[in-house]
Amino acid sequence: MTSIHDNLQTIGVNIQKTTQQYHHPPGSVKLLAVSKRHSVNKIREAYEAGQRSFGENYVQELLEKKEQLSDLDIKWHFIGPLQSNKTKKIAEAVDWVHTIDRFKIAKRLNDQRPENLPKLSACIQVNISGEESKSGILIEELPILAKKINELPRLKLQGLMVIPAPEKNIDKQRIVFAKVANIKKDLYQQGIELNTLSMGMSDDMEAAIAEGSTIVRIGTAIFGTREN
């Protein structure tokens, strides 16, 4: 079994190579280490190898890990489904939320973001596959949501996030990511400038980078198979 340190190194090289191969600016793709259902010891190991940004999917798990790792200078990203009764804890605990899919959640995060913290970075989760997926906002409804979130003073709307349906073929993976990249361009035409595309996981990272991802969210390729 390879170590977390080695995995991070390999992924870093892959990101760099792929970014170059598809003519994106060097350094334009950041690695988010997805640590859900992995131990705090593994997070420490990744931290010691230089990783600083970690993603978690479950509110309680994130809070417990943050507490246990309070001696480390970690940027926490929330990437799981968010119910309105959990927004306060998330507004107080994280630097980024990737999964905003309705205004009610954004408004609550805005109102609950503590004054002593910087603005909360936010991505809108896009539902690219329509009916099949329950999470994310439909493309037709996206511009209005983006405009409304842009007006919230305690949030910083950074970009779009997508979780495509699993697909093995890289060309088909690219079609989906290209759609999201195009939506970002359309929003720019409407006066909404975004700098982030949160897309790409262990099995579709290359396709996501090809289409302009700026944050890849990688779990398995760093930490191995999840523990439970």
Please give the residue ranges that form the binding site for ligand PLP (CB under 6 A).
34, 36, 57, 79, 163, 201-203, 217-221
* 81/143 with CB nearer ligand PLP: 81
Compute the distance between CA of residue 27 and CA of residue 19 in angstroms, rounded to an integer. Answer: 8
**Strand ranges for 15-119 from DSSP E:** 30-34, 53-56, 75-78, 96-100
**Alpha helices, DSSP H, located in 151-203:** 170-189
Residue carrying structure tokens 């909360």 = 120
Pick between residue 154 and residue 160 the one whose CB is nearest to ligand PLP.
Answer: 160
Q: Which is nearer to ligand PLP, 80 or 212 (CB)?
A: 80
Identity of the residue numbered 207: A
Q: Minimal distance in Å, beta carbon 202 to ligand PLP?
A: 3
Phi, psi torsion values for 147, nearest 5 degrees: -65, -40
Let me know how long the chain is.
228
The single residue listed with the structure tokens 């359309």 is 186
Measured at CB, which residue is nearest to ligand PLP?
219
Nearer to ligand PLP, 154 or 214 (CB): 214
- Please say whether the beta carbons of 122 and 97 come within 8 A: yes
Q: Which is nearer to ligand PLP, 154 or 222 (CB)?
A: 222
Alpha-carbon span 120 to 156, nearest angstrom: 6
- Nearer Cβ to ligand PLP (35/87): 35
Is-contact 14 200, C-beta < 8 A?
Answer: no
- Smallest gap from Cβ 222 to ligand PLP, in A, equals 8
Minimum distance between the CB of residue 216 and ligand PLP, rounded to whole angstroms?
Answer: 9
Minimal distance, residue 116 CB to ligand PLP, in Å: 29
Can you list the positions of beta strands (E) in 35-186?
Answer: 53-56, 75-78, 96-100, 120-127, 137-138, 155-161
- What's the min distance (Å) between Cβ of 79 and ligand PLP? 4
Q: How far is the CB of 99 from ligand PLP (least distance, A)?
A: 7
Element containing residue 20 per DSSP (H, E): helix 4-21
